[in-house]
Amino acid sequence: MYNIIFVGAPGAGKGTQASTVAQKLNLVHISSGDLFRQALAQGTELGKQVKAYLEKGVLVPDRITIQMVMERLSAPDAEKGIILDGFPRNLPQAEALESALAQQGKAIDKVVYIEVAEAELLSRLSNRRLCRRCQAVYNMVNSPPSIEGKCDKCGGELYQRPDDEPETVKKRLDVYFAETAPLIAYYRRQGKLVEVAGEGGVAEVTRRIVSALREEKLVTR
Ligand code: AP5
Ligand code: MG
Protein backbone atom coordinates (compact mmCIF):
# COMPACT_ATOMS: atom_id res chain seq x y z
CA MET A 1 0.00 0.00 0.00
CA TYR A 2 1.68 3.15 -1.20
CA ASN A 3 0.72 6.80 -1.30
CA ILE A 4 2.38 8.66 -4.14
CA ILE A 5 2.08 12.22 -5.46
CA PHE A 6 2.69 13.20 -9.09
CA VAL A 7 3.82 16.79 -9.45
CA GLY A 8 4.71 18.76 -12.58
CA ALA A 9 3.67 21.72 -14.71
CA PRO A 10 0.43 21.83 -16.69
CA GLY A 11 0.92 19.47 -19.63
CA ALA A 12 3.80 17.54 -18.03
CA GLY A 13 1.79 14.31 -18.35
CA LYS A 14 0.61 13.86 -14.74
CA GLY A 15 -2.84 12.62 -15.76
CA THR A 16 -1.56 10.43 -18.60
CA GLN A 17 1.09 8.79 -16.44
CA ALA A 18 -0.91 8.61 -13.19
CA SER A 19 -3.69 6.68 -14.89
CA THR A 20 -1.31 4.08 -16.42
CA VAL A 21 0.99 3.74 -13.42
CA ALA A 22 -1.99 3.42 -11.04
CA GLN A 23 -3.30 0.50 -13.11
CA LYS A 24 0.10 -1.17 -13.20
CA LEU A 25 0.63 -0.84 -9.45
CA ASN A 26 -3.00 -1.40 -8.44
CA LEU A 27 -3.37 2.03 -6.86
CA VAL A 28 -6.26 4.49 -7.13
CA HIS A 29 -5.69 7.53 -9.36
CA ILE A 30 -7.11 10.68 -7.75
CA SER A 31 -6.97 13.86 -9.84
CA SER A 32 -8.21 17.09 -8.24
CA GLY A 33 -8.64 18.64 -11.70
CA ASP A 34 -10.79 15.69 -12.88
CA LEU A 35 -12.91 15.92 -9.71
CA PHE A 36 -13.52 19.63 -10.34
CA ARG A 37 -14.35 19.05 -14.02
CA GLN A 38 -16.78 16.25 -13.09
CA ALA A 39 -18.53 18.57 -10.62
CA LEU A 40 -18.72 21.27 -13.31
CA ALA A 41 -20.16 18.85 -15.86
CA GLN A 42 -22.76 17.62 -13.36
CA GLY A 43 -23.68 21.18 -12.37
CA THR A 44 -23.32 20.42 -8.64
CA GLU A 45 -22.96 23.09 -5.96
CA LEU A 46 -19.18 22.42 -5.95
CA GLY A 47 -19.14 22.83 -9.74
CA LYS A 48 -20.80 26.24 -9.43
CA GLN A 49 -18.34 27.32 -6.75
CA VAL A 50 -15.23 26.43 -8.76
CA LYS A 51 -16.25 27.35 -12.33
CA ALA A 52 -14.73 30.84 -12.37
CA TYR A 53 -11.40 29.67 -10.94
CA LEU A 54 -10.97 26.91 -13.53
CA GLU A 55 -11.90 29.27 -16.35
CA LYS A 56 -9.29 31.79 -15.20
CA GLY A 57 -6.62 29.14 -14.63
CA VAL A 58 -6.06 30.09 -11.00
CA LEU A 59 -6.14 27.84 -7.94
CA VAL A 60 -9.46 27.06 -6.31
CA PRO A 61 -9.37 28.25 -2.64
CA ASP A 62 -7.69 25.72 -0.33
CA ARG A 63 -10.77 25.35 1.89
CA ILE A 64 -12.83 23.98 -1.03
CA THR A 65 -10.03 21.92 -2.57
CA ILE A 66 -8.84 20.30 0.64
CA GLN A 67 -12.36 19.32 1.66
CA MET A 68 -13.07 17.76 -1.74
CA VAL A 69 -9.83 15.75 -1.82
CA MET A 70 -10.18 14.60 1.79
CA GLU A 71 -13.68 13.30 1.05
CA ARG A 72 -12.33 11.37 -1.93
CA LEU A 73 -9.48 10.00 0.21
CA SER A 74 -11.90 8.67 2.77
CA ALA A 75 -13.66 6.43 0.21
CA PRO A 76 -12.93 2.72 0.81
CA ASP A 77 -10.99 2.19 -2.45
CA ALA A 78 -8.31 4.69 -1.35
CA GLU A 79 -7.28 2.15 1.30
CA LYS A 80 -5.31 0.20 -1.28
CA GLY A 81 -3.01 3.16 -1.94
CA ILE A 82 -3.22 6.25 -4.09
CA ILE A 83 -1.58 8.30 -6.79
CA LEU A 84 -2.50 11.95 -6.28
CA ASP A 85 -2.39 14.03 -9.48
CA GLY A 86 -2.69 17.81 -9.18
CA PHE A 87 -2.89 17.82 -5.38
CA PRO A 88 -1.23 19.18 -3.28
CA ARG A 89 -0.56 22.37 -5.22
CA ASN A 90 0.83 24.62 -2.49
CA LEU A 91 2.29 24.35 0.98
CA PRO A 92 -0.97 24.63 2.98
CA GLN A 93 -2.45 21.78 0.89
CA ALA A 94 0.70 19.66 1.44
CA GLU A 95 0.48 20.24 5.20
CA ALA A 96 -3.25 19.47 5.30
CA LEU A 97 -2.60 16.22 3.44
CA GLU A 98 0.23 15.25 5.74
CA SER A 99 -1.80 15.74 8.88
CA ALA A 100 -4.87 13.97 7.47
CA LEU A 101 -2.75 10.95 6.53
CA ALA A 102 -0.90 11.02 9.85
CA GLN A 103 -4.23 10.77 11.69
CA GLN A 104 -4.78 7.44 9.93
CA GLY A 105 -1.20 6.30 10.62
CA LYS A 106 -0.24 6.89 6.97
CA ALA A 107 2.23 9.08 5.09
CA ILE A 108 3.26 10.06 1.60
CA ASP A 109 5.89 7.58 0.43
CA LYS A 110 7.23 9.26 -2.71
CA VAL A 111 6.67 12.33 -4.87
CA VAL A 112 7.31 11.84 -8.58
CA TYR A 113 8.31 15.10 -10.27
CA ILE A 114 7.76 14.93 -14.03
CA GLU A 115 9.99 17.48 -15.70
CA VAL A 116 9.22 18.90 -19.17
CA ALA A 117 10.56 22.02 -20.94
CA GLU A 118 8.13 24.92 -21.38
CA ALA A 119 7.98 24.85 -25.22
CA GLU A 120 6.97 21.19 -25.12
CA LEU A 121 4.28 21.91 -22.48
CA LEU A 122 2.70 24.56 -24.70
CA SER A 123 2.63 22.28 -27.73
CA ARG A 124 1.14 19.37 -25.75
CA LEU A 125 -1.61 21.50 -24.22
CA SER A 126 -2.68 23.11 -27.48
CA ASN A 127 -3.19 19.64 -29.01
CA ARG A 128 -4.81 17.92 -26.04
CA ARG A 129 -8.31 16.42 -26.18
CA LEU A 130 -10.26 14.80 -23.33
CA CYS A 131 -13.10 12.32 -23.19
CA ARG A 132 -16.25 13.92 -21.78
CA ARG A 133 -17.38 10.61 -20.29
CA CYS A 134 -14.28 8.86 -18.87
CA GLN A 135 -11.74 11.75 -18.92
CA ALA A 136 -9.17 9.72 -20.93
CA VAL A 137 -6.47 12.01 -22.35
CA TYR A 138 -5.47 12.20 -26.04
CA ASN A 139 -3.20 14.33 -28.14
CA MET A 140 -4.02 15.16 -31.75
CA VAL A 141 -0.32 14.95 -32.66
CA ASN A 142 1.25 12.39 -30.32
CA SER A 143 -1.58 10.04 -29.39
CA PRO A 144 -4.71 10.62 -31.47
CA PRO A 145 -7.82 8.43 -31.03
CA SER A 146 -8.47 5.71 -33.65
CA ILE A 147 -11.71 7.43 -34.72
CA GLU A 148 -11.61 11.22 -34.86
CA GLY A 149 -13.53 12.86 -32.01
CA LYS A 150 -14.32 9.54 -30.23
CA CYS A 151 -12.75 7.96 -27.15
CA ASP A 152 -11.04 4.60 -27.84
CA LYS A 153 -11.88 3.40 -24.33
CA CYS A 154 -15.59 4.23 -23.99
CA GLY A 155 -16.76 5.79 -27.26
CA GLY A 156 -17.42 9.12 -25.48
CA GLU A 157 -17.13 12.47 -27.22
CA LEU A 158 -13.73 14.20 -27.14
CA TYR A 159 -13.45 17.90 -26.29
CA GLN A 160 -10.85 20.57 -25.74
CA ARG A 161 -10.49 21.93 -22.20
CA PRO A 162 -11.48 25.63 -22.18
CA ASP A 163 -8.45 26.34 -19.97
CA ASP A 164 -6.17 25.06 -22.75
CA GLU A 165 -6.66 28.39 -24.58
CA PRO A 166 -3.19 30.04 -24.92
CA GLU A 167 -3.96 32.96 -22.55
CA THR A 168 -5.23 30.66 -19.80
CA VAL A 169 -2.32 28.26 -20.28
CA LYS A 170 0.04 31.19 -19.70
CA LYS A 171 -1.79 32.02 -16.46
CA ARG A 172 -1.72 28.37 -15.33
CA LEU A 173 2.03 28.20 -15.93
CA ASP A 174 2.58 31.41 -13.92
CA VAL A 175 0.48 29.99 -11.08
CA TYR A 176 2.43 26.72 -11.25
CA PHE A 177 5.83 28.41 -10.97
CA ALA A 178 4.72 30.79 -8.20
CA GLU A 179 2.63 28.47 -6.04
CA THR A 180 3.31 24.80 -6.86
CA ALA A 181 6.98 24.62 -7.88
CA PRO A 182 8.14 25.40 -4.28
CA LEU A 183 6.74 21.97 -3.31
CA ILE A 184 9.60 20.36 -5.25
CA ALA A 185 12.20 21.71 -2.81
CA TYR A 186 9.87 20.92 0.09
CA TYR A 187 9.62 17.22 -0.81
CA ARG A 188 13.31 17.05 -1.77
CA ARG A 189 14.17 18.18 1.76
CA GLN A 190 11.99 15.37 3.09
CA GLY A 191 13.95 12.87 0.94
CA LYS A 192 10.78 11.90 -0.92
CA LEU A 193 11.39 13.43 -4.34
CA VAL A 194 11.92 11.20 -7.38
CA GLU A 195 12.80 13.21 -10.50
CA VAL A 196 11.84 11.82 -13.89
CA ALA A 197 12.48 13.31 -17.33
CA GLY A 198 9.02 13.72 -18.88
CA GLU A 199 10.03 14.10 -22.52
CA GLY A 200 10.03 11.21 -24.97
CA GLY A 201 7.11 8.89 -25.74
CA VAL A 202 4.37 8.17 -23.21
CA ALA A 203 5.44 4.50 -22.80
CA GLU A 204 9.06 5.52 -22.36
CA VAL A 205 8.15 7.96 -19.57
CA THR A 206 6.00 5.27 -17.89
CA ARG A 207 9.01 2.93 -17.93
CA ARG A 208 11.18 5.63 -16.35
CA ILE A 209 8.64 6.26 -13.56
CA VAL A 210 8.16 2.57 -12.76
CA SER A 211 11.89 1.90 -12.78
CA ALA A 212 12.56 4.96 -10.57
CA LEU A 213 9.95 3.69 -8.09
CA ARG A 214 11.55 0.25 -8.27
CA GLU A 215 14.92 1.77 -7.36
CA GLU A 216 13.19 3.41 -4.43
CA LYS A 217 11.97 -0.09 -3.49
CA LEU A 218 8.33 0.91 -3.93
CA VAL A 219 7.91 -1.51 -6.82
CA THR A 220 9.20 -5.00 -6.44
CA ARG A 221 7.81 -6.59 -9.59
P1 AP5 B 1 -5.49 20.21 -13.55
O2 AP5 B 1 -6.55 19.46 -14.22
O3 AP5 B 1 -4.74 19.55 -12.46
O4 AP5 B 1 -4.51 20.79 -14.66
P5 AP5 B 1 -2.90 21.03 -14.69
O6 AP5 B 1 -2.12 20.86 -13.46
O7 AP5 B 1 -2.79 22.36 -15.31
O8 AP5 B 1 -2.37 19.87 -15.47
P9 AP5 B 1 -2.91 19.30 -16.80
O10 AP5 B 1 -4.06 18.41 -16.51
O11 AP5 B 1 -3.13 20.42 -17.77
O12 AP5 B 1 -1.63 18.51 -17.34
P13 AP5 B 1 -1.16 17.02 -17.05
O14 AP5 B 1 0.18 17.10 -16.41
O15 AP5 B 1 -2.20 16.20 -16.39
O16 AP5 B 1 -0.93 16.53 -18.56
P17 AP5 B 1 -1.72 15.42 -19.43
O18 AP5 B 1 -1.39 14.06 -18.94
O19 AP5 B 1 -3.14 15.80 -19.61
O20 AP5 B 1 -6.11 21.56 -12.94
C21 AP5 B 1 -7.03 22.33 -13.66
C22 AP5 B 1 -7.56 23.45 -12.79
O23 AP5 B 1 -8.27 22.91 -11.67
C24 AP5 B 1 -6.51 24.37 -12.16
O25 AP5 B 1 -6.12 25.42 -13.03
C26 AP5 B 1 -7.24 24.88 -10.92
O27 AP5 B 1 -8.15 25.89 -11.26
C28 AP5 B 1 -8.02 23.66 -10.48
N29 AP5 B 1 -7.26 22.80 -9.55
C30 AP5 B 1 -6.89 21.50 -9.75
N31 AP5 B 1 -6.23 21.03 -8.67
C32 AP5 B 1 -6.18 22.03 -7.77
C33 AP5 B 1 -5.61 22.16 -6.47
N34 AP5 B 1 -4.94 21.14 -5.88
N35 AP5 B 1 -5.74 23.35 -5.84
C36 AP5 B 1 -6.41 24.38 -6.39
N37 AP5 B 1 -6.97 24.34 -7.63
C38 AP5 B 1 -6.85 23.17 -8.32
O39 AP5 B 1 -0.92 15.61 -20.83
C40 AP5 B 1 -1.03 16.82 -21.57
C41 AP5 B 1 -1.02 16.50 -23.07
O42 AP5 B 1 0.26 15.97 -23.42
C43 AP5 B 1 -2.06 15.43 -23.50
O44 AP5 B 1 -2.54 15.76 -24.77
C45 AP5 B 1 -1.23 14.14 -23.56
O46 AP5 B 1 -1.75 13.23 -24.52
C47 AP5 B 1 0.15 14.67 -23.99
N48 AP5 B 1 1.27 13.88 -23.48
C49 AP5 B 1 1.41 13.35 -22.24
N50 AP5 B 1 2.57 12.71 -22.12
C51 AP5 B 1 3.23 12.87 -23.30
C52 AP5 B 1 4.49 12.43 -23.79
N53 AP5 B 1 5.35 11.73 -23.04
N54 AP5 B 1 4.84 12.78 -25.06
C55 AP5 B 1 4.00 13.51 -25.81
N56 AP5 B 1 2.78 13.92 -25.43
C57 AP5 B 1 2.39 13.62 -24.18
MG1 MG C 1 -4.18 16.53 -15.77
| Per-residue confidence in pLDDT tens, the chain, 221 aa | 799 999 999 999 999 999 999 999 999 999 999 999 999 999 999 999 999 999 999 999 999 999 999 999 999 999 999 999 999 999 999 999 999 999 999 999 999 999 999 999 999 999 999 999 999 999 999 999 999 999 999 999 999 999 999 999 999 999 999 999 999 999 999 999 999 999 999 999 999 999 999 888 777 65
Domain membership of residue 68 (yes or no) is: yes
Catalytic annotation present for 150: no
Distance CA 110, CA 7 (A): 11
Catalytic annotation present for 161: yes
Domain that holds residue 209: 3-116+181-215
Domain count along the chain: 1
How many other C-beta atoms lie within 10 A of the C-beta of residue 131? 20
Catalytic annotation present for 129: no
Q: Is 19 in the pocket of ligand 1 (CB under 6 A)?
A: no
What single DSSP character describes residue 201? -
Q: How are beta strands 128-131 and 158-159 bridged, if at all? A: antiparallel
Q: Is 60 in the pocket of ligand 1 (CB under 6 A)?
A: yes
Would the pTM count as exceeding 0.85?
A: yes
Domain membership of residue 105 (yes or no) is: yes
Q: Is 137 in the pocket of ligand 1 (CB under 6 A)?
A: yes
Query: From the candidates 132, 150, 161, 192, which is the catalytic residue?
Result: 161
Domain membership of residue 126 (yes or no) is: no
